[in-house]
Amino acid sequence: MGALEGKTALVFGVANHNSIAWAITQKLAAEGVRLALTYQERMEQNVRKLAATLDQPLVLPCDVQSDADLDTTFARVGEEFGGLDILVHCVAFAPTEDLKGRVSRVSRAGFLTALDVSAYSLMAMAGRAEPLMQARGGGSVLALTYLGSERVVPGYNLMGVAKAALETAIRYLAWDLGPQNIRVNGISAGPLRTLSARGVGNINDMFTLVEQVAPLRRNIEQSNVGDVAAYLLSPAASAITGDIIYVDNGFHVMGLGAM
């Protein structure tokens, strides 16, 4: 057990054992955190199977595009936990045809869906988490992002636009919720072999490039993100908010490939 023992957490975005959300969940569980996990209908079996390896977490269905679902989820967490200390947002989506196509040809519907699921959902969750965190004297919110939010990553396309909106939301939420002692941060993780990564063009080339260019000359693992997440969500990071922390073996500092 660690500095987070006895805390409560709600995690959105677990899909399977390769999910970054699952790596974070495992780390929080090891720290003694009481957990609630949500699932999309098509992922229910996967999430329940993983949840069965934990100490009786609360498992709830939730479509983040549904206000009614979000209301129900946070109400249940409030009833079961008597408040909330930690909110983890690992949710992103863009229609395949808009993700792989040219940005100049993205459909209006695809754009709205990507921004709704990937960015607006964080704001919607944070607003519902606020009173639950106030009941616990404050809290911490964490979201996942990627370097494609600030630099052009061919193949990431529309998702880069959505992640840019997410990162801006993180900063504004940090300001908005700071007076309530609620911190909001993001982790910009390097590429990983996850379910969502399958929809990104040139993903295998990204892994090769990171190994060649990153200062540490290797790709990251899911557990690396879990470790940093646990730190950001803990009292040890009590003065950190509105930040994006890179977990990419230093790849983001490079301007050119290895010489």
Domain membership of residue 258 (yes or no) is: no
CA distance 73 to 63: 10
Domain membership of residue 255 (yes or no) is: no
CATH number, position 85: 3.40.50.720
What's the number of domains the chain is made of? 1
Domain membership of residue 251 (yes or no) is: no
Domain membership of residue 104 (yes or no) is: yes
User: Would you say how long the chain is, in residues?
Assistant: 259
CA distance 233 to 235: 7
Catalytic residue, candidates 156, 172, 231, 246:
156
Catalytic residue, candidates 146, 172, 231, 246:
146
- Contact in structure between 130 and 182 (CB atoms under 8 Å): yes
Helix (H, G, I), strand (E, B) or coil at 182: strand
pLDDT digit string (tens) for 131-154?
999 999 999 999 999 999 999 988
231 is catalytic: no
Domain range enclosing 76: 8-246
Domain membership of residue 254 (yes or no) is: no
pLDDT tens for the 259 residues of the chain, in order: 578 999 999 999 999 999 999 999 999 999 999 999 999 989 999 999 999 999 999 999 999 999 999 999 999 999 999 999 999 999 999 998 888 889 999 999 999 999 999 999 999 999 999 999 999 999 999 999 999 999 998 888 999 999 999 999 999 999 999 999 999 999 999 988 765 655 555 677 888 889 999 999 999 999 999 999 999 999 999 999 999 999 999 999 998 655 4
39 is catalytic: no
pTM across the whole model: 0.94
Domain membership of residue 154 (yes or no) is: yes
User: Which amino acid does the sequence have at 190?
Assistant: G
Instruction: State how beta strands 86-89 and 139-145 pair.
Output: parallel
Domain membership of residue 252 (yes or no) is: no
Domain membership of residue 233 (yes or no) is: yes
